[in-house]
Amino acid sequence: LGSLAATGEPSAVRVSDDCTVGGGRFTWIAGPCAVESEAQLLGVARAVRERGAHLLRGGAFKPRTSPYAFQGIGKDGLDLLRAAAAETGLGVVTEVVDAAHVEAVAEVAHVLQIGARNAQNFALLHEVALTGRPVLLKRGFGCTVPEWLHGAEYLLAAGNGKVLLCERGVRAHGDSTRFTLDISAVPLAKRLSHLPVIVDPSHACGRSDLVAPLAAAAAAAGADGVMVDVDGQGHAALCDGEQAITPDAFGALVRRTDRMLHSL
Contact set with ligand PEP (CB under 6 A): 33, 59, 63, 95, 115-117, 138, 168, 200, 203
| Side chain identity, residue 239 | C
SS3 of the chain: helix, strand, coil, percent, to 5: 40, 20, 40
Nearer to ligand PEP, 33 or 84 (CB): 33
Distance in Å, CB of 240 to ligand PEP, minimum:
8
| Residue from 78, 56, 73, 129 nearest 99 by CA | 129
CA distance 220 to 232: 27
Distance in Å, CB of 53 to ligand PEP, minimum:
15
Nearer to ligand PEP, 9 or 155 (CB): 155
Nearer to ligand PEP, 15 or 259 (CB): 15
Distance in Å, CB of 94 to ligand PEP, minimum:
9
Nearer to ligand PEP, 49 or 139 (CB): 139
Nearer to ligand PEP, 7 or 147 (CB): 147
Distance in Å, CB of 69 to ligand PEP, minimum:
11
Nearer to ligand PEP, 2 or 197 (CB): 197
- Per the CB < 8 A criterion, the answer to whether 230 and 44 are in contact is yes
Helix (H) or strand (E) holding 95: strand 91-95
CA distance 33 to 30: 9
Distance in Å, CB of 248 to ligand PEP, minimum:
22
Distance in Å, CB of 116 to ligand PEP, minimum:
4
| Cα-Cα-Cα-Cα dihedral sign, residues 122, 128, 132, 137 | negative
User: Which are the contacts of 214, defined by CB distance < 8 A and separation ≥ 6?
Assistant: 181, 199, 201, 204, 205
Residue 80: C-alpha distances to residues 179, 227, 231 (Å) = 30, 20, 15
Nearer to ligand PEP, 10 or 206 (CB): 206
CA distance 104 to 93: 13
Distance in Å, CB of 64 to ligand PEP, minimum:
8
The SS3 assignment for 29 reads: strand
Nearest residue (beta carbon) to ligand PEP: 115
